[in-house]
Amino acid sequence: MKLYEYEAKEIFLEHGIPVPEFRVVSTPEEALKAAEEIKGRVVVKAQVLVAGRGKAGGVKLADTPEEAYRYAKQMLGSEIKGEKVNKVMVTKAVDIARELYLSIIIDRSMGQPVILSSPEGGVDIEELARTRPERILKIPVDPLIGLREYSAREAARFLELGEQSKQAQDIVSRLYEVFLKYDCELAEINPLALSTDGKLYAVDAKIIVDDNALYRQQELSGDYLRDLSYYEAEAKKLNFSYVELDGNIGILCNGAGLTMATMDTVYVMGGKPANFLDIGGGARAELVEKALSLLLQHPKTEIIFINILGGITRCDEVARGIVEALKKNPVKKKLVVRLKGTNEEEGRKILEENGIYVFEFMDEAARKAVELGAKT
C-alpha cells in the first residue's frame, strides 16, 4: 500500500522528522491562500501514486502565490501517467546546498530490514547502485534486536555531513520508528536535503506499507481503499494481487513468480504489460471468471495473456472460468492462453470447443501477445 507524499510527511512530522512547511489543497484558490500563508517561494506538487511526476509536469516551483494558483489550476483534474490529480501539496521551497539519500527497506533475500544511506540523493538509487555501488552503504538490522545506536551513527557518518551528523543520526532513528510502527516495506527520504542555512529536511517522502499488515493499520487502510482506482478496489475485494501498469497487454497468471516471469518475457519481446494480476494457487472457476472480467472491462487492456501453470490450480477450472467470463463480457478483446499442468487436457478441450486456441509454451504465447499488441 503506497501512501501519498503528504500522508508520509504527516507521519514524519508526528515522529519528529523535519519537513518543509506545507499545505494540502484541492482547489486553485486554496493553493493561492496556502502560498500566501507559507510566504516566499513554494513548490506545487501533484499528489499521485506514480513515479516520475516531476518529468510529467507534476512538480512546479512558484515564485509568487499567483504562480502557485496557476500551477494548481493546471494540475488539478489533470492526469499524470493515467492517475487523476485530486489534490496538490503547496510546500515551502528549500534552498538546497546538498541532496542526500536515506531509506529503510525490507530485503527479502536477507529476511530483515536494511538501512540504505548515500551522500548522493535526488537520483535513481537503482542506477546509482549499478554504476557506483560504493556510494551506497547498506546496514542490516536484526529485527529481534532492533536498531542499534552505532548503526544509526554509521549511516549518518556515511552521509558526509560533518557537524550535521548528529541531526542525521536522529533522523535515522526516527525513520526506523516509522518503519516499525507502520509495518513498512519501504520508508524513504529522497532527497534528504541539507539547506544553505545548515538544516536537514525531508524534501520528499515515500512510505509503502505491507498489504498483509493492513489489518493492523486500520487508520491508513480506510483511506487507502477509498483512494484506489475502481479496478484496484475490486481486486482487493476479491483477494487477489493486482497492480496497475502502463502497457496494453493484460497479464493473468497463478503465482507471483510465474506472473513476474510472464511480465519479464513480455518486456523482453518488446511488449508492455498493463497490469500484474496473480489469482494465486488453487483458484476455482468463479475467481478466474471475476479476474478475467476485470481485465475485459479495463479500457487499457487490448490483449489479455493468460498463463497458467497448474499444480493445485486445475486447468479445467481455469478454462471454465475463462469461458464464463467471455459469456458475461461480450467485449472484443483478443486472448492468448497457455495452460500447462493438472487437468491440462480437459482444460484445453473446454477452450478449443469454444474457439480458443491454447499455446503449449510460454515463449510462443508471449510472442503472440506482443505481436497482437503491436497491431492495436
Residue-wise pLDDT for 109-167, tens only, equals: 888 999 999 999 886 777 888 889 999 999 999 999 999 999 999 999 999 998 899 99
**What's at 367, amino acid-wise?**
R
Residue 356 CB neighbour total at 10 angstroms: 17
Helical H segments across 108-242, by residue range: 125-131, 149-157, 165-181, 218-227, 230-238
Domain span(s) for CATH 3.30.1490.20 in the chain: 21-92
Residue-wise pLDDT for 230-279, tens only, equals: 788 788 778 788 988 889 999 999 999 999 999 999 999 999 999 999 99
Domain span(s) for CATH 3.40.50.261 in the chain: 229-375
Position with higher pLDDT, 356 vs 81:
356
Q: Over range 50-73, report the average pLDDT.
A: 93
Angle at 151 between CA 150 and CA 152, to 5 degrees: 90
What would the CATH number be for the domain defined by 229-375? 3.40.50.261
Residue-wise pLDDT for 303-342, tens only, equals: 999 999 999 999 999 999 999 999 999 878 999 999 999 9
- β-pair partners for 139: 115
Catalytic residue positions, numbered: 101, 188
Report phi then psi at 171, rounded to 5: -65, -40
In the numeric block, which cell numbers belong to residue 155?
A: 549511516
- What is residue 125's predicted lDDT score, i.e. its pLDDT? 79
Inter-helix orientation angle 315-328/344-353, to 10° = 20
* CATH classification number, 96-215, choose in 3.40.50.2030, 2.60.40.10, 3.40.50.300, 3.30.470.20: 3.30.470.20
- Chain centroid to Cα 161, Å, comes to 31
Positive or negative, the CA dihedral 20, 21, 26, 32 is: negative
Class of 21-92 per CATH?
A: alpha beta
Position with higher pLDDT, 83 vs 172:
172
Residue 328 CB neighbour total at 10 angstroms: 13
Domain span(s) for CATH 3.30.470.20 in the chain: 96-215
Rounded distance, CA 225 to CA 234, Å?
Answer: 10
**Could you give the 3-state DSSP secondary structure of residue 186?**
strand
Collect all residues with Cβ–Cβ distance below 8 Å to 87 and sequence separation of at least 6: 4, 6, 24, 25, 26, 47, 76
In the numeric block, which cell numbers belong to residue 131?
A: 554504476
